[in-house]
Amino acid sequence: MTISIADSINCVGLPIIVTTSYPYLNFLIDTGANLNSIFDFVYEGLPDFFTPLESKQSQYGIEGNEMSYSMAKATIEFNDTKAETAFSVMNADRVVRRLQEDNGFQLHGILGTQFLKDNKWIIDFGKLEIIT
């Protein structure tokens, strides 16, 4: 099965995919991120969808600052393929607001290389699609 990223790249310049079951969430596919992230406004707005985890995750921000995040897990679905995955819960209000102002869409989270690897997803940049 394939998921097209052509439209999102052509529209906003980013590989965005949308879950195909409720809640419908927009995720950036980020091969530069090793972890998945869900933004705190989504986590707080969907308390029955996420299961909090006791662990915390540390990661470095773009400026090199180490930050600690709470963790949660959820099952997300893309075209009848379900994947349970862990997310770091982070505040990204400024980025989300800017993307919404500039491009007219709201981003809910990031799927990183660990998600791609765990689910054996392959990005074909020539065809602008993800092979699942």
Ordered DSSP codes for 26-61: EEEE-TT-SS-EEEHHHHHH-TTT-EEEEEEEEEE-
Looking at the DSSP bridge assignments, the partners of residue 16 are: 28
Beta carbons within 8 Å of 85's beta carbon, 6+ residues apart: 36, 73, 74, 75, 76, 111, 115, 118
Taking CA atoms, 92 is separated from 45, 85, 88, in Å, by: 15, 20, 12
Contact 28, 42 (CB under 8 A): no
List, for residues 86-130, the tens digit of each pLDDT value: 999 999 888 888 888 888 889 999 999 999 999 999 999 999 999
| 66 burial type by CB count under 10 A (0-12 exposed, 13-18 middle, 19+ buried) | exposed
Residue-wise pLDDT tens digits, 47-66 = 999 999 998 888 777 678 88
CA angle 25-26-30, nearest 5°?
130
Candidate from 13-17, 36-40, 101-105 with smallest mean pLDDT: 101-105
